[in-house]
Amino acid sequence: MKEKLVRFGVAFEESLLRQLDALAEARGCTRSELLRDVARAEVGRAHVARGVEAVGALTLVYDHHRRGLIERLTEIQHQLGDGVRANLHVHLDHHTCLEIIVLTGKSDQLTDIAEQTLAMRGVQQGGIEIIPRAKASAPHHHHDD
């Protein structure tokens, strides 16, 4: 049975709305369908089970000239120790870097780390994708023959 649709008003900056409409057109869907898909994805991310073993990919875009930001990002990663499995750092332009940090740990810990990091002054944009270990592939080990 289809659930009843409810109409409501949403305010967007004009430039963001134009970008949203262009994205909807490129995907061959309506603005409403696109917003429902985005909302479902965010609700799904918010419902990742708390406290389960997980892997996460934290993506950050930031101004590397922001005073103290690099040191704070490095300090968080050092505190996590073996919880940081990999890190990719890319210079996008003179001021902006993209960083992808692969983390392991409890899902709620990964969420907390992401929220702390994304709230730092100088972080312009980012997000985290968390996958419970039960859904992730088994650990991969290399063995000599």
Structure tokens at 118: 């994304």
The pLDDT, as a whole number, for residue 143 is 61
pLDDT in tens, 29-75: 999 999 998 888 777 677 677 788 999 999 999 999 999 999 999 99
As a whole number, mean pLDDT of residues 3-26 equals 94
Percent of the chain with pLDDT over 90: 74
Which of the four pLDDT bands, split at 50, 70 and 90, describes residue 2? confident
Residue type (1 letter), 135: K
The pLDDT, as a whole number, for residue 141 is 60
pLDDT at 140 over 80: no
Average pLDDT, the chain: 88
pLDDT in tens, 38-50: 888 777 677 677 7
Distance between CA atoms of residues 83 and 101, nearest Å: 10
Place of tokens 């898909």: 37
Place of tokens 């479902």: 40
Place of tokens 């134009």: 18
pLDDT at 138 over 60: no
